[in-house]
Amino acid sequence: MKEFKRLLVVLFLLVFTAVMASCNLGKTTEESRKSMIQSVHPHPTAIEDKNKNNHEKAEKIKKEVESLPEIYDVAVLKGEGDVLVAYKVKHMQRFRMKKIEKALKKRLESKFSDETFVVSSDYKIFIEAIELKQKIKEKKISKDEAEKRLQKIIKFQKELT
C-alpha cells in the first residue's frame, strides 16, 4: 500500500510539472488567454499613430474582414509598411481555410491597394498579435520595439507558408 501511495504521488508530481511547464501562463496576457476560449474582438491597432488616418484605416480593414461570414474574430495591426491581419475561421469553414485566406488577401489588396497585407488564420499568429496589441495599449513597449516585434511575427508567418 505504501508503494502504491508513493507511486501515485510521483505520478501526480510528474503530470503536474509537465502541465505547468507546457502552459507558459506567465508569458501570456489575460486577453490572449481569453482569446483561446472565446471571441475577444480586439480593437485594431496602428503602431505609428502620429497620423490619425492610420488608425482609421486599420478600423476600416477590420470591418472589411469581419464582413465575411466565415470569420468570427480578427486582429489587425498596422505597422509602418505592413498590415497584419490575423483571424479565426468558424469551425465548419476550417476545410476551406486556404481558399478563404486567398480570397481575403485579394479582397483587401483590391480595396486598400496602397497597403501590403500579411493575412493569417494561424492561431499562434493571432495570439502573438493580441499580445503585441496589449503591450502597445499598456505602453509597455516603444514604437520601434513594437515595429520590430510586428516584423518578427510577419517573418514567422511567412516561414509557416
CB 66 within 8 A of CB 44: no
Is 50 exceeded by the pLDDT of residue 103? Answer: yes
- Architecture category of domain 29-160 in CATH: 2-Layer Sandwich (3.30)
Q: Please give the average per-residue pLDDT across 79-107, as a whole number.
A: 90
pLDDT of 19 > 60? The answer is: no
Separation in Å, CA 38 to CA 9, 10, 17, 27 = 35, 35, 27, 19
With pLDDT > 70 as the criterion, what percentage of the chain qualifies?
73
Q: What is the pLDDT of residues 82-92, one digit of tens each?
A: 899 999 998 88
Radius of gyration in angstroms for the set of CA atoms belonging to the chain, rounded to a whole number: 19
Judge whether residue 34 has pLDDT over 50. Answer: yes
Task: Provide the pLDDT for residue 24.
Answer: 46
Domain ranges of the chain: 29-160
Global pTM?
Answer: 0.72
Q: Which of these ranges, 38-42, 56-60, 62-66, has the smallest mean pLDDT?
A: 38-42
Nearest to 129 by CA among 143, 107, 104, 146: 146
Weakest-pLDDT range from 37-41, 54-58, 86-90, 134-138: 37-41
Where is pLDDT greater, at 49 or 89? 89
